[in-house]
Structure 1
């Protein structure tokens, strides 16, 4: 049975049982405790916590999930994936244990003809919490599972919570016996490789307190009502129903492995030396490729922190694994295409976003290829330093620096070390990695806290959404539904106080879609007046107006006038409509792949992020600006209308990449085919009202993502006026016409560079001229002459190295060490040169530099006869000079 069929049967089964089907939420939710959605129940958390009333007492969904706590372990076991699909059924105070167990059992064991999965019931083993006699009785007496196949387990295995204070409860897990070929008999307690968990039924009935781990917390008491939260692993059920050994051989992952075999020339599952390691790499490629595609689809781009860093790690592990398997050519595009082909029947949006997803992944592959090249050079330096010191083991510190700072994978370090006849201090590396993971986990747990209490807003969420009137008017009469201050409901708020006012209707725009919130006022006919400084959404539907009361007081139930600051709104609409115009111009110039990756617009200003694989040229930027302003001059009508999502897409409306939309969407059309986008923001009446648009610049903000910024309207005019005044001032100072300023400035810059080079030459010549004095003042330390000096000529590193070499040559066959330090542009370059005689006595320039570098807040390295480095702490120079003399003295 194919995976897409398994999904369909699950949903059909529970819809027939009265459940409302809920589409999968994005992998990214507005939850400070979660990097990604990591369980099927996460989108339903507000209902379990009592913060919101569920739309239906019964629900079912197949939620896409990502777990990335132990990325390095992926592929080593064959049970776990970073991305997985969690099928679930949920009850909010409706049914409980008996029904949940019955629903699961019937779907698993009913025949295929009857809509079930047709699993042999004698191969299913339930587990229950150690003291849950009720669940055990249902399995034994009502379902008919023999008592010897029902196992009781402790809190760590059969008690579920979200990992932070909140709802929790005992669980009952269902395991499938894969047979004696997979392990020993005795049920899940004996072997969880043979007995594989496929479904977890959570009887959510209690409230837990704070604590760390699965079983180190207190049960505070019962929830107001009993709930059901279940999760069935789609991939694991597919493994069983498709008769394969593991999830990587199912219909959604094996095609990626097939592509990897073709690209690398290796065979998955091959016997012989290295076969097990190769299989792990194949599984890493299959798992990570699918996860990466799903993350990019939901709007994540590779970056250096947070979600972007997780995606970057996944993509780089794919590249690394492919290369270790023998791939010499780029592979990412083929993997991405395969994932999209296999997953799009369940997630059609993947096919729509295919070009953007592919471009993002391929760009990261190209970037990492350059990183690998740089890492190879750094490895060569580390290997040379290891040999020069007489060692055969690359230090764990060097290996960790390559991995952590430069992204160079440890297994490549190990492989290259073996080729060079060296080893790596793997334990030292592992210790440093362990320290890093410990810090990361501590930071992650520190970010976890009790869920913000938004139950104060529940009554407003239950009433339905705030009516937004701001598309048609700037002043609206409204009723105060509630007042919130410091997390609690207030009956009244008075002069000087800050609070949040909830209205039944409002013309003030709440921040969303890249558009900042309106500002304005709320007032009453009795003289109360409050300034609205921000408007935010609760649950994407209720407006909360952040106010400071300037006069009178507001009471729940008051009838008020809510008014938008007209000037602020005018500028905001210019910025938002300008964003649409710039986006359309970008696609005309750069192609349809330049899709939006984020935006910000406020009065007079816009910022637009887009996907591109390289910088925008000056000529392209000029063309984009011209197309945008031509659209302004054309005075295109701006039309807005609502329609079905499918119809909007059929019309060609652009959707924000990674955004989730409802069935009904709002379309903003500017100039017919020029720009048509799904958008909930406020806009001008015609394109001419945007005013002139001036692009300020273009830059990279992440792998495959670029950014343009622009002024619009009066702010654009003011910017151009400042630029004109600046040009006039420079033109006057240089005594040339404005159109000759660039040529004149370029000429002056060239002359300045020549002068700087001449100064550097003069410094170097002056330093050499004083070399005789330095040689004459050399100290004798033991049998070695030492020149250890600070030079105040501001020499750069290259000049300092040349001078040290020159001084060394003046000592001829004598044993001598030259150590020079300088201060140049807030940096502290230093160089050490050692004569052959001193080197033969055991002195090494590289060792001396490594020893003194920390004293200067820097690092360095080199060969035994010549080494150099750079630091940032000039106060350490005296200590470094003493250390050089001490080192020579100790050797002597």
Structure 2
């Protein structure tokens, strides 16, 4: 453990604290109260601040945030702006879960400097792992602001460490008016994200207000320090990582029964009005119920395997109240509290550009949306989600960006509500089918299947339970269902595995990094280099002008010349900074050795096509943002020689008018012939200057970023580009399609490829016009007229077919063989399709005593059988007859007792098919 990491903390000894062991849980804690026996953390202690605020002055969110930030500014910390709640700078998590997440991994690892040191921030965070506890415990939130002060120390440059951190916390609480004797600091070693360190939890009145982490360890196989079952070693740098809960500080300052009454008083009141619920905290008896409930709500955490009904009973017993009466009061209010919280969560999610979908952060947004809609439905509140979000925005003037983006947010929520309704309508049958299937096996519908159904079809467990009950099946799901689902989707699997799969990795480990000159001289296509190694069909050079595949751009191709030998370069890849050239060795021997001088020649036409398409991608992405909104985010891209594609996050299909506008803006940027600018910048400086839109095309590694500016688009990009937008040439959008929910794909061509694409389109128009002997400009009108005429002819054709079938049927019935009262129709023709045979069979079925076997030699054999009502009663089934006929011609078929269809490829068996089917009819009728 980390006991030794607490030994150098002198603040407690020097300021009258007693080190104690909690009489209930056994944890070590520090307190100024010599008589205290418990640590202050529920359930060892209940809330004591309800009705008796901890701080002198009640504050709202804005007041408390400003107080905190100003406090640390006055003590030498630089205030920095918040980061988005979607962690654009990370490839391991989707949402910003703590203030320290803003600086991971690059700042915390020491790779890049922090934006300020020391610094203070109030960072909005989202955590969904306690989703089912929100509203029920009185304290849980999905969205919260983590007020913090951070210090990034390094060897020889310490700003402050453990004692000063605790001193600042103590001073802050005292200034706010907390009773110093009530404050406890609990020893609580921390580990997470590959790091660990000593930590203390700060408790006042039974409420955890802050956590002070002293991060100085990193996970290591060779480590000697055991923290929670993993081994760690000391880092060169050491970090003060603090977290102060803004909402909890506000709650502590007001002493309201729940955190929701303190944080969302206006929203809660408006929601209770809409639901027709009286939530009058001025009523002493009513307020006391909530206060008592909140004081014991520390046990109401359903994020684990706890059962809500059992927990509710424990709370009811603790406050001396009937559990049913407590549930009657608390259930609707818990939904109100959760809706208030969830809609604030959505305000941040959608306001920061998350588009609901079935993947990544979009999945989590949709999860919150659908849970909120479900609770509104339970309360009978019929109000658009956007109206509640608008209330939050009105109460958060410190975030003007949410007001700016509200039009998009409103439209997204309206579409999501409609999708949810459609999901429920089609989902009931899906769940009923699954429930019955498991019941027939004598099993209950397992949790894994419920979660799979939610993942695949979006059917909430409450709906699943209702739908299954309609078919007599009981379905059970845990109270923490949504937390489990959220936990499954909270981390990304998109980490880069650059060197994986290359079988010669060990050969590269001893080589120096390749000098890459394709950025320095982008128009140079011929160069000299020294061979560092050559093996199999791969060559590694000391420098190269060949661009290796990356960033959605295909690799360069070209030639390597060694003396009189010439080799085609067919692929180029980079592994951990070393560029590997793959040669075409078909019918050749590799006669290149280490130390040889070679000449490389890049295929200029291919390179220019890639550069045009890469620059065009930046231009198209920027134009899409201007037309569709600032929420547009690149979800993927590919640049080839003949065309390119860009996948963007968007909540609906792109219209043709929008496509035209995007194309027009893109080509205006080209015609402006703006210089494409390149700049290498320190990562932190670039993020502060340009924001996280830099990472549209992915998150490049390293301390220094290559910044590419194309018009008003600014991104960190490692691709090759044109030197000015004019070189891109014309940009032509070829098509758009939805590749998955929430992601639209644009395909386009630039330069010569665009001209070729337009010429191909013109050729199609010209050829079509020539076939119709008309001018191209009247082609649409002519095609429309021909189409309408074709539809009329189709109708007339169907009508004639029906009349012909009727006439043929009359003839068939006249020629039918009679067996007792039954008419046996047998017909073998040539050229009739299955539809013609079916229409004839339908006519024959009008006679309840008729049986028909109809065969036609048409692309093999088509077979249709029909049996009237009385024939079926006698035991004749059309499906059996079709099977007999189909098997005789080498095929298969089937259908209903009255009408069936089939056939097979072997026309030589048609006579056998007729004979065997007729025999079956006669045998059945005579039995």
Q: TM-score by structure 2 length?
A: 0.57
CA distance in 2, matches of 1:200, 1:834: 83
SS at match of 2:389: helix
CA distance in 2, matches of 1:609, 1:515: 14
Structure 1 residue 600 and structure 2 residue 628: aligned?
no
Conserved 8 A contact 1:614-1:704: yes
SS at match of 1:110: helix
Aligned-residue offset at 1:516: 7.0
Where does residue 213 of structure 2 map in the other structure?
201
Where does residue 190 of structure 2 map in the other structure?
160
Residues 20, 336 of structure 1: alpha-carbon distance in 2 compared, 3 angstrom cutoff: same
The residue correspondences of 1:490-509 to structure 2 (distance < 5 A) are 493-496=533-536
Structure 1 residue 430 and structure 2 residue 477: aligned?
yes
Deviates more, 1:219-228 or 1:712-721: 219-228
CA distance in 2, matches of 1:700, 1:382: 27
Structure 1 residue 89 and structure 2 residue 150: aligned?
yes
Match of 2:170 among 91, 109, 120: 109
Aligned-residue offset at 1:216: 11
Structure with the bigger RCO (C-alpha within 8 Å, sep 6+) is: 2
| 1:729-756 C-alpha deviation (Å, 9 max, x unpaired) | 4455556554555556556656776787
Structure 1 residue 78 and structure 2 residue 138: aligned?
yes
Residues 438, 593 of structure 1: alpha-carbon distance in 2 compared, 3 angstrom cutoff: closer
Match of 2:762 among 724, 732, 737: 724
CA distance in 2, matches of 1:357, 1:307: 19
SS at match of 2:475: helix
The residue correspondences of 1:815-834 to structure 2 (distance < 5 A) are none
Structure 1 residue 368 and structure 2 residue 420: aligned?
no
CA distance in 1, matches of 2:105, 2:455: 38
Where does residue 360 of structure 2 map in the other structure?
306
CA distance in 1, matches of 2:591, 2:378: 71
Match of 1:694 among 693, 710, 732: 732
CA distance in 1, matches of 2:122, 2:465: 41
Residues 97, 655 of structure 1: alpha-carbon distance in 2 compared, 3 angstrom cutoff: closer
Match of 1:237 among 241, 249, 255: 249
Match of 1:715 among 741, 753, 759: 753
Where does residue 714 of structure 2 map in the other structure?
678
CA distance in 1, matches of 2:277, 2:764: 63
CA distance in 1, matches of 2:428, 2:534: 67
Aligned-residue offset at 1:695: 1.9
Q: Could you list the runs of 5+ residues in structure 2 that have no partner in the other structure?
A: 1-58, 287-324, 437-443, 584-589, 820-831, 850-867, 874-896, 900-927
Match of 1:321 among 375, 398, 417: 375
The residue correspondences of 1:798-809 to structure 2 (distance < 5 A) are none
Residues 496, 406 of structure 1: alpha-carbon distance in 2 compared, 3 angstrom cutoff: closer
RMSD of aligned residue pairs (Cα, Å): 6.9
Residues 370, 476 of structure 1: alpha-carbon distance in 2 compared, 3 angstrom cutoff: closer
CA distance in 2, matches of 1:385, 1:493: 60
CA distance in 2, matches of 1:99, 1:37: 26
CA distance in 2, matches of 1:834, 1:494: 81
Conserved 8 A contact 1:585-1:627: yes
Deviates more, 1:16-25 or 1:764-773: 764-773
CA distance in 1, matches of 2:763, 2:252: 74
Aligned-residue offset at 1:441: 6.7
CA distance in 2, matches of 1:228, 1:759: 82
| 1:523-576 C-alpha deviation (Å, 9 max, x unpaired) | 999x999969668898xxxx6645558886789xx9999997654453344334
SS at match of 1:428: coil
Where does residue 340 of structure 2 map in the other structure?
286
CA distance in 1, matches of 2:351, 2:455: 27
Structure 1 residue 123 and structure 2 residue 178: aligned?
no
Residues 372, 36 of structure 1: alpha-carbon distance in 2 compared, 3 angstrom cutoff: same
CA distance in 1, matches of 2:514, 2:121: 24
Where does residue 37 of structure 2 map in the other structure?
none
Structure 1 residue 407 and structure 2 residue 418: aligned?
no
Conserved 8 A contact 1:509-1:517: yes
CA distance in 2, matches of 1:548, 1:685: 28
SS at match of 2:357: coil
Aligned-residue offset at 1:638: 3.8
SS at match of 1:368: helix
CA distance in 1, matches of 2:540, 2:144: 40
SS at match of 1:494: strand
SS at match of 2:139: coil
SS at match of 1:105: helix
Conserved 8 A contact 1:699-1:706: yes
Where does residue 67 of structure 1 map in the other structure?
127
Aligned-residue offset at 1:497: 7.3
CA distance in 2, matches of 1:51, 1:288: 36
Residues 19, 386 of structure 1: alpha-carbon distance in 2 compared, 3 angstrom cutoff: closer
Residues 522, 631 of structure 1: alpha-carbon distance in 2 compared, 3 angstrom cutoff: same
Conserved 8 A contact 1:605-1:715: yes
The residue correspondences of 1:147-226 to structure 2 (distance < 5 A) are 158-162=188-192, 166-178=194-206, 195-196=207-208, 198-202=210-214, 204-205=216-217, 207=219, 218-220=229-231, 222-223=233-234
Conserved 8 A contact 1:467-1:506: yes
Residues 170, 72 of structure 1: alpha-carbon distance in 2 compared, 3 angstrom cutoff: same
CA distance in 2, matches of 1:707, 1:321: 35
Q: Could you list the runs of 5+ residues in structure 1 that have no partner in the other structure?
A: 129-157, 179-194, 388-394, 484-490, 671-675, 778-791, 812-832, 839-865, 869-892
Where does residue 294 of structure 2 map in the other structure?
none
Aligned-residue offset at 1:715: 0.7
CA distance in 2, matches of 1:291, 1:605: 40
The residue correspondences of 1:346-361 to structure 2 (distance < 5 A) are 351-352=400-401, 354-356=403-405, 358-360=407-409
Aligned-residue offset at 1:303: 0.8
Conserved 8 A contact 2:364-2:486: no
Aligned-residue offset at 1:620: 5.3
CA distance in 1, matches of 2:177, 2:548: 53
Aligned-residue offset at 1:176: 2.1
SS at match of 1:38: coil
Residues 94, 320 of structure 1: alpha-carbon distance in 2 compared, 3 angstrom cutoff: farther
Conserved 8 A contact 2:197-2:213: no
CA distance in 1, matches of 2:728, 2:678: 20
Where does residue 863 of structure 2 map in the other structure?
none
| 1:340-399 C-alpha deviation (Å, 9 max, x unpaired) | 455563xxxx53464445414532433322531562476599999999xxxxxxx97999
Residues 718, 267 of structure 1: alpha-carbon distance in 2 compared, 3 angstrom cutoff: farther
The residue correspondences of 1:543-562 to structure 2 (distance < 5 A) are 545=579, 547-548=581-582
CA distance in 2, matches of 1:38, 1:66: 5
CA distance in 2, matches of 1:39, 1:432: 26
Conserved 8 A contact 2:499-2:575: no
| 1:297-340 C-alpha deviation (Å, 9 max, x unpaired) | 544311112221111111222333334333334231x3334444
CA distance in 2, matches of 1:384, 1:668: 55
The residue correspondences of 1:511-660 to structure 2 (distance < 5 A) are 545=579, 547-548=581-582, 566-579=604-617, 582=620, 590=627, 600=637, 602=639, 605-608=643-646, 615-618=653-656, 621-622=659-660, 625=663, 628-629=666-667, 632=670, 634=671, 636-638=673-675, 640=677
CA distance in 2, matches of 1:170, 1:808: 87
Q: TM-score by structure 1 length?
A: 0.59
Conserved 8 A contact 2:353-2:632: no
